[in-house]
A and B are shown apart, each in its own frame.
Chain A
């Protein structure tokens, strides 16, 4: 079945460092890909998305490119801030007869130190 694998955390960076969180997926068909962020004690917020191969999703300085050839959707940011500390989830869409759902990776915790 479809699945998402993320790099394990926690990832600890200093402020203004470059961030990469790796995400690879296994899927039949052509799913949409998403990054969600979860701040402590909160629900998930949609960070960015890409709906087809070679699409680049971007938001708040974060970027991810849908790479079909490597089945990857790595999250990057050029300069992280303390406020970026959160858990990041990569997800893919799976449609089925009369419905659609998200399949998530296990999450990667990011901690940014001043």
Chain B
């Protein structure tokens, strides 16, 4: 079975622009979570979605938003990009909403210049 997939792999944006990152979970997994990993640090939780509804949100500004589609894939949107948004964005999937054994995709490397 395919693992979690993310696109694009790399992305370069300019300050003030908007970006959309995409994630497809493992088949049979209904929960998708997003994490931000700044260089040299551990991942930080951004969102969790389950059955198309937001179930949790980390300490991130409203510039960050996400959604989940009927096929359980998900998009993360970041508006008004700042230099500090440069990071590896990781998507993780799990079978259920409260199951914390999560499986991660390879990530999208976002660079804001």
Give complex CA distance A95, B45 in Å: 13
Size of B's binding interface in residues, CB under 8 A: 29
Chain B min CB distance to A40 (Å): 12
Q: A99-B55, A101-B58 are in contact. Are A46 and B100 (CB under 8 A)?
A: no
The DSSP consensus for interface residues of chain A is strand
* A84–B40 alpha-carbon span in the complex (Å): 18
- Report B107 CB to chain A, min CB distance, Å: 5
In the assembled complex, which residues on chain B have CB atoms less than 8 Å from the CB atom of A36? 104
Complex: A102 Cα to B34 Cα, angstroms: 11
CB-CB under 8 A from A99, the residues of chain B are 48, 50, 55-56, 97-98
B103 CB–A CB distance under 8 Å: yes
Interface string of A85-114 (1 = CB under 8 A from B): 000010101111011111111110000000
Residues of A with C-beta under 8 A to B94: 100
A45 at the interface (CB under 8 A from B): yes
Chain A residues in 8 Å Cβ range of B43? 44, 89, 102, 104
B42 touches A100 (CB 8 A): no
Query: Which one, A98, A102, A103, contacts B55 given CB within 8 A?
Result: A98
A49 within 8 A of B: yes
* Residue of B whose beta carbon sits closest to that of A109: B40
Q: Shortest Cβ distance from B112 into chain A, in angstroms?
A: 19
Q: Could you mark each residue 2-38 of chain B with 1 if its beta carbon is under 8 Å from any beta carbon of chain A, else 0?
A: 0010100000000000000000000000000101000
Query: Which listed residue (B4, B45, B104) contacts A103, Cβ 8 A?
Result: B45
Q: How far is the CA of A29 from the CA of B101 in the complex (A)?
A: 17
Q: Across the interface, do A101 and B42 meet the contact criterion of CB distance under 8 Å?
A: no
Residues of B whose CB lies within 8 Å of any CB of A are: 4, 6, 33, 35, 40-45, 48, 50, 55-56, 58, 90, 92, 94, 97-107
